[in-house]
Amino acid sequence: MGSNWVPALRILRPFARRDYRILACALALSILAHGMWAVAMVYQVRQLGGGPTQLSMVATASALGLILLVLAGGIAADRYSCRRILIWVETVSVLLMSTTALLALTGTLQLWHLVITGFISGAGAAFFYPAYSALLPRMLPGEELLAANGVEGTMRPAIQTALGPMTAGVIVAWISPAHAIAGVALAHLAALLVLRLISRQPVYDRIEGTGADPSPATAFQQLREGVDYTLGTPWLLWTLIFAVVAVFTFIGPFEVLLPFEISDRLDSDATGFAMALAAYGVGCALGSVATASFRLPRRYLTVMMACWGLGSLPLAWVGVVPALWWLFPLLFIVGLTDGIGQVTWGTLLQRRVPRHLLGRISSLDFFVSLALMPVSMAVAGPLSEVVSTRDIFIVAGLASPILALVAWICGRFWRDELDHPLDRSPAQSLSTPE
């Protein structure tokens, strides 16, 4: 049946499976909550009288929560029920955002409250995404993982950087940031209720069996096994090295400086910021759909690095555009290429990494690639007071192409992708170490 699916419908194949439909719905609701929080948090900080430095504090706290706990999240995903981890994360998120909204609505919210909220929210993501990544191959056969990653790659930008921010932007503009945070709590509650419908044992655990876990018994030994695998796998190692620096040059300007660039230099409000994020999100969604609708190219590593590298070039013009609408095509291109790269990368992890290591490798991916994210957010605000935002965005646009070329050469990607074609059987791809 799989060969009869036309490319445009290939991305829909996983929806034929009940548990995946439920998981995808819950993921969409959780992503919506995070997208709304991104805008609600910005304007709640501004309502409290904060500027770029204060926004950096909240954003950095969220990044630290993710970085400090993501390795523990990966170990947990390989040791415990991924379904249960997802449920607990959403439960904590409901309580967290409900409390924050109540403080804001009663006028007792302070900046340090938002810092704590940001940290716990990041910590929740540190457990959510490794568990999601490890659960997916247990629900779906290997040939459907590209489509499932395409679904996620479409939902994440479309909802987290488009629908979520636009929803929160409208609520902020019409009512208040506090009511937008209340909306975040409701989205997490809906995700929690949906997650409870997932079967306790995924179908591919029942059909294939998980087998004996060859991992060492202790958490430290499990972590070391994941690190050793990463260090011994060049395509994985050099992609993560690229990601470390690329994220550092991108996240700070995009998350911290872009809202003030739009409001102060381009004279727009929360709606303008939400529209800019939506342009990026739409591009990322289209890139994800396109990637999931066809088979991965033979030169999959080369295509991935080219998209991530060259796709950042439009950022160099963000600080010089004369009007808001100029930002939309620039961010659309950045999102389009990022979507192609992210779907390809997620599929490579699930196809080429042994299943019993997938939770840990996913968490190492988050940890290593985002290691400098809090530093980037922390320095972006203060740096903008001594260096022009124009120059900061120019560096952000030019750094990734150079880094991508270095990674491609040092990791010998052009040989690895030919030596490891992805036309092997799904079972072999998921269970055989490199």
The DSSP code for 295 is: P
For residue 3, tell me if it sits in a domain.
no
Q: Would you say residue 4 lies in a domain?
A: no
Count of domains in the chain?
1
pLDDT 10s digits, 110-123: 888 888 998 999 89
105 versus 205: the higher-pLDDT residue is: 105
pTM over 0.75: no
**61 phi/psi in degrees, rounded to 5:** -60, -40
pLDDT digits (tens, 9 = 90+) for 244-281: 888 888 887 887 788 778 877 777 776 777 788 778 87
In a domain, 359, yes or no: yes
Q: What is the pLDDT of residues 200-219, one digit of tens each?
A: 765 544 334 343 344 555 66
CATH number of the domain bearing residue 364: 1.20.1250.20
Beta carbons of 335 and 157 less than 8 angstroms apart: yes
Q: In this predicted structure, what is the pLDDT of residue 206?
A: 39
Structural domain containing residue 99? 10-204+219-431
Nearest one of 346, 321, 337 to 250, comparing CA atoms: 337
d(CA 409, CA 41): 41
Hey, what amino acid is at 397?
A: G
pLDDT tens readout for residues 340-361: 888 888 888 877 877 777 777 7
Q: What is the pLDDT of residues 287-307, one digit of tens each?
A: 888 887 777 788 889 999 999
In a domain, 2, yes or no: no
Q: Is residue 170 part of a domain?
A: yes
Residue 190's pLDDT is 94
Domain assignment of residue 5, yes or no: no
Question: How high is the mean pLDDT of the chain?
Answer: 80
Inform me whether the pLDDT recorded for 8 exceeds 70.
no
Domain for residue 212, yes or no? no
What is d(CA 404, CA 387) in angstroms, rounded to the nearest whole number? 26
Q: Return the half-sphere exposure (C-beta side, CA atoms, 13 A cut-off) of residue 145.
A: 28
Percent of the chain with pLDDT over 90: 16
pLDDT of residue 415: 87
Alpha-carbon gap, residue 19 to 200, rounded angstroms: 10
Q: 349: which residues sit within 8 A by CB, 6+ positions away?
A: 133, 358, 361, 362, 365
Tell me how far apart the alpha carbons of residues 324 and 273 are, in angstroms, rounded to a whole number.
Answer: 9
Lowest mean pLDDT among 90-94, 183-187, 308-312, 320-324: 320-324
Residue 249 domain flag: yes
Provide the percentage of residues in the chain whose pLDDT is more than 70: 86
pLDDT, tens digit (0-9, with 9 covering 90-100), for 138-185:
787 766 777 777 777 777 767 877 788 878 888 888 888 889 999 999
Q: What is the pLDDT, as a whole number, of residue 120? A: 92
